[in-house]
Amino acid sequence: MSGHSKWSTIKRQKGRQDIKRGQAFTKISNAITIAVKQSGGVTDPDSNPRLRIAIEEARRVNMPKDNIERAIQRAGHKGEGGVEEVVYEGFVPGGIAVIVEAVTDNPNRTTSEIKSLFGKYGASLATPGAVSYQFENVGEIAVAKNNKSLDEMLMIAADAGAEDVLEDSEGFTIYTGPSQLSKVKDSLEKQGIEIEEAFLSKKAMTKVTLDPSKEEAVLGLLQTLESLEDVQKVYTNIS
């Protein structure tokens, strides 16, 4: 129950850049809308864990309440102005598996854009299921270090009910069962732990070490995918 992750560092740095570019509101708004849609229209955060997490993220970046309410209302709209979730799976040379979750009002446009990017970096899209079986659904919590050691965080996370902890140069990533995400997050906050973000995620069951000669191209693809406005999350099996 420990480890280090270069990709976690990249994701955190990328997330802060996205907020500076003003993309965060759009991404979170789409996440709220999809959370309501996929629950069958449940708009109560207490009864819709995915919505609760999305709203908490919206508040974390100071999204106005009106924006949150509009995103919830949009879930009931069909046709023009509506959005849907699309998932792409693919492979990058070197045994790297990638899953891209996107929310879009124009799937054809998004698919074309992502397919073009994969091709540009020498990667290829795969059929549904070709990659996803290598990943498990988890809850993911990013935590600031605040002078805590890995051993200290391991003990705190275990007491809170977490399943795993990874360390990177930016902080700690704590993994939970999907249904335990909110419970573990609340427990950590009660212990005075600073939560940077918490969300439902996918974790590779087997990690692959990135070939240094391919690092620039692979990380270039992943970071470019993360920067797309339609893209919500990018998952990979890079260690």
Q: CB 135: neighbour CB atoms within 10 A?
A: 19
Whether CATH 1.10.490.10 fits 13-74? no
Tell me if residue 97 falls in helix, strand or coil: strand
Q: For position 23, what pLDDT does the model report?
A: 76
Strand extents, DSSP E, the chain:
84-92, 96-104, 124-126, 135-144, 164-168, 171-176, 195-204, 231-236
Give the DSSP H/E element, type plus range, for residue 171: strand 171-176
Evaluate if residue 20 carries a pLDDT over 70.
no
| CA nearest to 239, candidates 44, 4, 2 | 4
Q: For position 21, what pLDDT does the model report?
A: 45
Q: Is 192 exposed, middle or buried (0-12, 13-18, 19+ CB in 10 A)?
A: exposed
Domain 84-133+206-236 classification at class level: alpha beta
User: Average pLDDT of 3-7?
Assistant: 55
| CA nearest to 30, candidates 76, 65, 75, 88 | 75
Q: What is the pTM of this model?
A: 0.85
Contact 205/81 with Cβ under 8 angstroms? no
pLDDT band at 172 (very low <50, low <70, confident <90, very high): very high
- Where in the chain are the domains? 13-74, 84-133+206-236, 135-204
Give the distance from CA 149 to its chain's centroid.
25
pLDDT band at 8 (very low <50, low <70, confident <90, very high): low
User: Average pLDDT of 93-117?
Assistant: 94
pLDDT, tens digit, 9 for 90 and up, residues 176-227: 999 999 999 999 999 999 998 899 999 999 999 888 888 888 989 998 998 8
Q: For position 78, what pLDDT does the model report?
A: 62
pLDDT more than 70, % of the chain: 89
Are 84-133+206-236 and 135-204 the same fold in CATH? Answer: yes
CATH topology of domain 135-204: Alpha-Beta Plaits (3.30.70)
Average pLDDT, the chain: 88
Tokens 């704590």, residue located: 174
